[in-house]
Amino acid sequence: MKTESFLLKGDLCYSKDSTHLETVANGVLVCLEGRCAGVFPRVPEQYQGLPRYDFSGRLVVPGLVDLHVHAPQYAYRGLGMDMELLDWLNTNAFPEEAKFADLDYAQRAYSLFVEDLRRGATTRAAVFATLHGPATRVLMELLEASGLCAFVGKVNMDRNSPDILREKSAEASARATVEWLEQTAGKYRRVKPILTPRFIPSCSDELMERLAGIQRTFGLPVQSHLSENQGEVEWVRELCPSASCYGDAYASFGLFGGGVPTIMAHCVLSGEEEIAMLRERGVWVAHCPASNTNIASGIAPVRRFLDEGLRVGLGSDVAGGHSTSLFRAMADAIQVSKLRWRLQDQSLKPLTVEEAFWLGTAGGGAFFGPVGSFLPGCELDAVVVDDRRLATTRALTVRERLERVVYLSEDRDVAAKFVQGRQVLPDEKQVYISSQM
Ligand code: GUN
Ligand code: FE
């Protein structure tokens, strides 16, 4: 489908950088062939002829980016969270993920997940599937059809899980991965593969070596988990006695940034050396505040990550996190940062709304390229939020309306959505096109 050129009128709100929000009430966003050409107070002369969407009175923000989510865990979100990570995996995640050997089940469960994402404010996501290649292809088909952009990973795991969810050998896991890559190569425009070793406890050294070879051959990005939970970190120390830290275990196989685009979820317990490695190797940290709260992992020092120049975005981490909403993740990130500041470390100031909004848009968006803002040259992902439901007696600024949307909006308030300049919501597209504004 071809990309679009159009004008979009509304109350525009986007990040210039991690601390500065730009707001233009009643502004005009210009999209040329899927990219932002600029934001203007009124329609510039040279763009007078373009089609127009009139979203006057609505808030228009860049699309939200979920840097870490488990699609197969969607069906049990909001359940079974009164335990810590390793018990939670064995009790909830592994039995549910095993069901995706059945393609009918995969179709049913993944359809629910993708429809949820499509209806909400998310425009891009980095997604874990399961170890099953065929079911992972079903997920990729559904995401492609939704119009969203996504990295999707067939999970690799060959140790420390029950027979029903463990690949029989490193060789079998690597072979299934190559097969999945070959079967999906060139099939999708918006959905791309990402190498997904579940985490160190799930992957033997031999498997990690084989995955590094696959990474080099196919030039793939990588996603995994890092330093989420105390028991997990101690286990990795036993499993990898020669690694100087958990991150070094990935790095020793060449699967930790430094030329390999990499997302590591959590980093709650990363120490000095690991934080330095994350920075030096340009690894993206996916901060997942709801998950870290639900399964009592702790609170990542995101203020420090930002101050030290690490790349950071937000993840829903469904179903450790209970909601797919990235607006919720922004509010959660602010709230947990305040608890961390109050209870744990007063040298790290809480996050501001500006910073949380940046994390959920441009911060995570950078993993996808020039994404997550309305600055010229960015790919045009935009969400139109109708905030009139959030009744008030006050006359609010655009900045104040955004703040309330972060805390109070729901998916039903998303009135329209564009990804790379293509409208994906609402289903009745022509409704909003107006000939004058
Ligand atoms: N570590 C390894 N697998 C998982 C998972 O599915 N969820 C979370 N939160 N952490 C993990
Ligand atoms: Fe996760």
Q: Atom 9, ligand 1: which residue's CA is nearest?
A: 320
pLDDT exceeds cutoff 80 at 437: no
Residue 197 has a pLDDT of 99
For residue 89 and ligand 1, the question of a CB distance below 6 A is answered with yes
For residue 93 and ligand 1, the question of a CB distance below 6 A is answered with yes
pLDDT exceeds cutoff 50 at 403: yes
CA of 357 to the centre of ligand 1 (A): 25
Residue 432 has a pLDDT of 55
CA of 207 to the centre of ligand 1 (A): 18
Alpha helices in 395-434, H assignment, sequence order: 398-408
CA of 397 to the centre of ligand 2 (A): 36
For residue 320 and ligand 1, the question of a CB distance below 6 A is answered with yes
Looking at residue 283, the DSSP 8-state letter turns out to be P
Segment 178-192 shows an average pLDDT of 98
| Paired residues of 23 in beta bridges | 13
Segment 192-201 shows an average pLDDT of 98
Closest CA to 267 of 322, 330, 324, 224: 224
pLDDT exceeds cutoff 60 at 242: yes
Residue 208 has a pLDDT of 98
Residue 1 has a pLDDT of 39
Closest CA to 313 of 75, 152, 122, 77: 122
CA of 91 to the centre of ligand 1 (A): 12
3-state helix, strand, coil in the chain (%, to 5): 40, 25, 35
Residue 366 has a pLDDT of 98
Q: How confident is the model at residue 215 (pLDDT cuts 50, 70, 90)?
A: very high
**pLDDT tens by residue, 28-64:** 999 999 999 999 999 999 999 999 999 999 999 999 9
End-to-end CA distance of the chain: 27
Residue 17 has a pLDDT of 97
Segment 224-236 shows an average pLDDT of 98
Q: Atom 5, ligand 1: which residue's CA is nearest?
A: 89
Segment 107-131 shows an average pLDDT of 98
**pLDDT tens by residue, 385-397:** 999 999 999 999 9
pLDDT exceeds cutoff 50 at 199: yes
pLDDT exceeds cutoff 50 at 178: yes
Residues above pLDDT 90, as percent of the chain = 97
CA of 297, nearest ligand number: 1
CA of 68, nearest ligand number: 2
pLDDT exceeds cutoff 70 at 431: no
pLDDT exceeds cutoff 90 at 436: no
Residue 434 has a pLDDT of 59
> How crowded is residue 25: how many other Cβ atoms within 10 Å of its Cβ?
13
Q: Are the C-beta atoms of 153 and 128 separated by less than 8 Å? A: yes
Average per-residue pLDDT for the chain: 97
Look at 1-5, 175-179, 313-317 and tell me which has the smallest mean pLDDT: 1-5
Residue 428 has a pLDDT of 76
For residue 198 and ligand 1, the question of a CB distance below 6 A is answered with yes
Structure tokens at 364: 């995570």
CA of 320, nearest ligand number: 1
